[in-house]
Amino acid sequence: MHSYSLVAPAKINLYLEIIGDRHDGFHELVMILQSIELADRVDLKSSDTQKIHVYCNHPQVPTDETNLAYRAAKLMCDAFPDVYANYGGVSIRIEKNIPVAAGLAGGSADAAAVLVGINMMWELGLTQPELQELAAKLGSDIPFCVSGGTAIATGRGEKLDGIKDLDNLWVVLAKYNNISVSTPWAYQTYRQQYSDSYVSDAAGIKSRTAKVHSSPLVHAISNQQASTIGKLLHNDLEKVVLPEYPQVNELRSAFATTHILGTMMSGSGPTVFALCESEAQAIAAKKQVRAIITDPQLNFWVTKLSSSGIEIRAQI
């Protein structure tokens, strides 16, 4: 049996619209998700016991059963008990490069890598749609992290429709080490403040979803119109997060003064990104914002958009 090293890319939201409530307690969403080259490394190998072990180089990442990567391995063990009994447990080692609690789906990406890696290790032969169906049981972002690229996500985020990959642009990401935003808090606060705008009937949800599929942003992505994409970035959660977190708002405003295509908070934050035409433009924007905000708690990452989801880096 082979052991595998996998690349687990982060993601950003180019678009996030909250349509209404769902019966399962989640929100009905329409999003455009985009992979980026900033990625964790996840190494998988068989364990000498029937246990699942998680190791990580980042002190803030849990290594117990609360870790999404652990839960992904447990899901595979439960779904394929005979294979699990034959192959035994799994050792998972995560090299954390994606910032933690940043709204970049780092934990989801690690879980997706575990699903893909165990599928290879155990020679299960699962297709990508089958892996995504399993992934949806763990979290809304994980199905996208399996496939990556550029996609429209609907439902609670687990229903995906691929569109033309957008991999020729760059982003500079910025996040304060000492600020974290609770995703449940962000959605609950949005519900409290804006639920009067929610659509509840199936026809209305279908109509709103269809509008995004035919929207100017999707058209601009399909035609690689970088300047238009930058102008059409949208995130409903900014309405509640930015007023509550003035430093994140200030960061977004600082990026807006630089020569970029557009800027926005990703997901529920607190990461803010600037979309750029080139690496040089991204580096210049980073330098300009660093000159405006000198707080040592603010970190930056410059990376490129990616057309890839989970990839096998090597057999160990």
Q: What is the CATH number of the domain that holds 273?
A: 3.30.70.890
61 plus 128 within the same structural domain: yes
Distance between first and last Cα of the chain: 10
Kindly report the pTM of this predicted structure: 0.94
111 plus 190 within the same structural domain: no
Task: List CB contacts of 7: < 8 A, sequence separation 6 or more.
Answer: 39, 40, 41, 113, 308, 310, 311, 312, 313
Residue 1 pLDDT: 61
29 plus 128 within the same structural domain: yes
162 plus 184 within the same structural domain: no
139 vs 169, 237, 310, CA distance in Å? Answer: 28, 19, 16
288 plus 302 within the same structural domain: yes
State the amino acid at position 44 in one-letter form.
L
CATH number of the domain within which 153 lies: 3.30.230.10
Residue 16 CA to residue 140 CA, distance in Å, equals 13
133 plus 232 within the same structural domain: no
Give me the active site residues, please: 11, 141
Over residues 16-72, the pLDDT tens digits come to 999 988 877 778 899 999 999 999 999 999 987 889 999 999 998 999 999 999 999
Mean pLDDT in residue range 100-118: 95
* Range in 47-51, 135-139, 249-253, 262-266 the model is least confident about: 47-51
Residue 255: pLDDT over 70: yes
31 plus 158 within the same structural domain: yes
Task: List CB contacts of 266: < 8 A, sequence separation 6 or more.
Answer: 12, 13, 102, 103, 104, 173, 235, 272, 273
Q: Which of 102, 234, 262 is nearest to 169 (CA)?
A: 262
What are residue 155's phi and psi, to 5 degrees? 70, -135
What residues make up the domain containing 185? 170-306
Residue 271 pLDDT: 97
131 plus 249 within the same structural domain: no
Q: Which two tokens stand for residue 231?
A: 């102008």
| Percent of the chain topping pLDDT 70 | 99
| Percent of the chain topping pLDDT 90 | 80
- The number of domains in the chain is 2
The answer to whether residues 10 and 105 touch, using CB atoms and an 8 Å cutoff, is: yes
